[in-house]
Amino acid sequence: MKCIYIYTFVLFAMCNISVFAQNTAQQINKAEQELETLLKQEQNLKNKLEKLRLTKVQEDLATAGLPKCNSGCEVIKHQALALCYDEEHEQARWVAHIIIPAVTLGNLNRTNDFREDDKISSGSATLNDYWFSGYDRGHIAPSADFRWTAAGISESYLYSNMSPQLAELNRERWAELEGFIRDYVITRGKQVHVVAGGILEKGLGTIGESKVSIPKWYYKVALDESEQRTIGFLLPNKDCTYPLQSYAVPVDSIEALTGIDFFPNMPDSWEKSYSYKAWTSEDDTVIPDVTPMKPPLPKGLFNTVQARLYEGETITVCGTVVATKLSKKSGATFLNLDKKFPNQIFSASIWKDNRSNFSYAPEAFLLGKKVCITGKISMYQGKPTMNLKDEGKVVIVDDVEF
């Protein structure tokens, strides 16, 4: 009888274990189904959120106003960016997009799905135009700015968003500039409007059967509407050896060069000046007037006061650049040494045609520096001035004691 009891107990236990195991398996299956449902819901919410953000981007682009220019380029609106395609140069005259704080949370990677833009009525550039050309397919709007949207990353690889850049620019200073503006969004948590492109003009060299123009200069402008803050950058299509700050300029100076009104619905006053340090979380410092260098200077050098005595002669004048201006009307750059307008005692000018002889933006790079410049002295409204034709006529002497 005892054996019967033991057998019955074991059988009962085994049945219960089987039931328990079956119940656990069912619970696991149910939990997996619930998780799958939640994951689908999460993905649906992410897709909805992406679409809403893309809609907001288009609304905000319209608020600032899409760039306006006199050329006959074709305006194309994609989901994450807008551009104006210039058939004559087979690339965009401008590409506009917005970097939003969600870029911080985005984890999408490059897709490298380079392809033609079917929205361009005349047809965009192609792979064959760039293949073995010696130039990179330089993104105008970088894919990393769209890490939060698969649609945006994909659109960034359209050939309408490409321009032939030398590797020395594309992979170095241009990439640094892209990261600079993106870091501003990440650290401040504020969205930034960005417009960029190559400066397209007559007589540029070309690549490929489509004759894609090779810009000599590239620009990028940025707007933080919440802070009423703008900044522009102008970089030559070559190895940019100077620090990024050297290529910073006011937005309206780039408007003068390109003929493009980048933010037509925003006040023009926002575009007339910039503070590089403000974009790096520091306040800009106004350069104060300084006392001219005390003579006698080393042989062959003269201070800004002595310059007026040498009208018509070619000499070297030394002083501190306390004010600069890039004229929107003429494209000329003006430098004041030691004293600012209207109390200036000596000035120098770089005419528009000579600007390409400088590897940096002189109005940004030279501001606040002690320099010695060489040229012919002429008088303008009773004040000595000098015309600078190339970078070699300017020597930085910050570390030299006179």
Give the tens place of pLDDT for each residue, 193-218: 999 999 999 999 999 999 999 999 99
| Residue ranges of E strands in 22-169 | 68-69, 74-77, 81-86, 91-99, 136-139, 162-165
Confidence band for 237, pLDDT divided at 50, 70 and 90: very high
Residue 1 in this model has a pLDDT that exceeds 60 = no
Residue 340 in this model has a pLDDT that exceeds 80 = yes
Which range is least confidently modeled, 113-117, 129-133, 323-327?
Answer: 323-327
Residue 334 in this model has a pLDDT that exceeds 90 = yes
Give the tens place of pLDDT for each residue, 240-286: 988 899 999 999 999 999 999 999 999 999 999 999 989 985 434 45
Give the tens place of pLDDT for each residue, 47-103: 899 999 999 999 999 999 999 988 789 999 999 999 999 999 999 999 999 999 999
- The tokens of 402 are what? 């006179």
**pLDDT at residue 360 in the model:** 87
Residue 329 in this model has a pLDDT that exceeds 50 = yes
**pLDDT at residue 143 in the model:** 95
User: For residues 160 and 126, what is the distance between their CA atoms, to the nearest angstrom?
Assistant: 9
Q: Residue 68: beta bridge partners?
A: 261
User: For residues 101 and 190, what is the distance between their CA atoms, to the nearest angstrom?
Assistant: 6
pTM for the model stands at 0.67
What number of CA atoms fall less than 13 Å from residue 225's CA on the CB side?
A: 18
User: For residues 240 and 173, what is the distance between their CA atoms, to the nearest angstrom?
Assistant: 6
What's the mean pLDDT when you consider all of the chain? 90
Residue 375 in this model has a pLDDT that exceeds 80 = yes
**pLDDT at residue 20 in the model:** 62
Residue 360 CA, distance from chain mean position: 16
Q: Is 89 a catalytic residue?
A: no
Give the tens place of pLDDT for each residue, 138-187: 999 999 999 999 999 999 999 999 999 999 999 999 999 999 999 899 88
- The tokens of 125 are what? 């550039």
Domains and CATH numbers, the chain: 61-280 (3.40.570.10), 301-396 (2.40.50.140)
Residue 299 CB neighbours (<10 A): 5
Q: What average pLDDT does the segment 299-328 reach?
A: 93
**pLDDT at residue 283 in the model:** 39
**pLDDT at residue 166 in the model:** 97
Annotated catalytic residue within 78, 89, 139, 193: 139
**pLDDT at residue 284 in the model:** 40
**pLDDT at residue 247 in the model:** 94
